[in-house]
Amino acid sequence: MRGKKQSALPMKMLYRNTTIKFTPKVYEPAEDSFLLAEAALSIIKNSENILEVGCGSGIICAVIKKNTRAKITGIDINPYAVECTRDNGIEAIRGDLLKSIKGKFDIIIFNPPYLPTDDSERTTGWINIALDGGYNGRKIINRFLEEAGSNLLENGRILMLISSLTGIEAVKSKVKSLGFHIEELNKERFHFEQLVVIVATKTRK
């Protein structure tokens, strides 16, 4: 669930035996963060090499590092998010989606900006970037999906959260059109939206 107000002071929380620090200039961990973190823990089996795109506070990365043997790296366009993720003990780099990523990964995780946003609703600042999914909520999601395949190892997977506000079936259709097999891992309803976590595996052609 997006759009909660934040304190002006640095904050921290304990989740899954992991202490997470975050600041007002990054997306505050919320129900979507926890749902995606639980999904990640459910599919990580060994020492996978994992990238989280849009790592924000670093909560998902930190929970993975604390509770699995996977190697995890974060990337975010927000410099404050990169700093926050590093403060939470995770390697992180600044970049726009996957443009600056050269390697390949077993799993790429993404909790995308998905709120449908028109010009009158758009604000300035880094928090807007974490929320603004374009006019239909799928602008950043589509960009990510078109880039992600080249950064996945054979049988690599995308783990992504999507919302009914964005159009769950529309996103699934896009994923399938790019040659991925989709499964739903978990879903929950929060007030005005349903959140779904999908895992998409690149299929051989």
Residue 10: inside a domain, yes or no? no
* CATH at 78: 3.40.50.150
Residue 8: inside a domain, yes or no? no
Q: Looking at residue 9, what is its pLDDT?
A: 56
Q: How far is CA 106 from the centre of its chain?
A: 15
Contact 62, 84 (CB under 8 A): no
Q: What is the mean pLDDT of the chain?
A: 91
Q: Looking at residue 125, what is its pLDDT?
A: 81
Residue 20: inside a domain, yes or no? no
**96-115: buried (b, 16+ CB within 10 Å) or exposed (e) per residue?**
ebbeebeeebbbbbbbbbbb
Percent of the chain with pLDDT over 90: 78
48-83, pLDDT tens digit by residue? 999 999 999 999 999 999 999 999 999 999 999 999
Residue 66: inside a domain, yes or no? yes
Residue 23: inside a domain, yes or no? no
87-131, pLDDT tens digit by residue? 999 999 999 999 999 999 999 999 999 988 887 777 778 888 888
Sign of the torsion angle spanned by Cα atoms 128, 187, 34, 111? negative
Residue 3: inside a domain, yes or no? no
* Number of domains the chain is built from: 1
Residue 123: inside a domain, yes or no? yes
Q: How far apart are CA 204 and CA 54, in angstroms?
A: 27
Instruction: Say whether pTM exceeds 0.85.
Output: yes
Q: Which domain, by its residues, includes 147? A: 32-202
Q: Looking at residue 5, what is its pLDDT?
A: 47
Residue 112: inside a domain, yes or no? yes
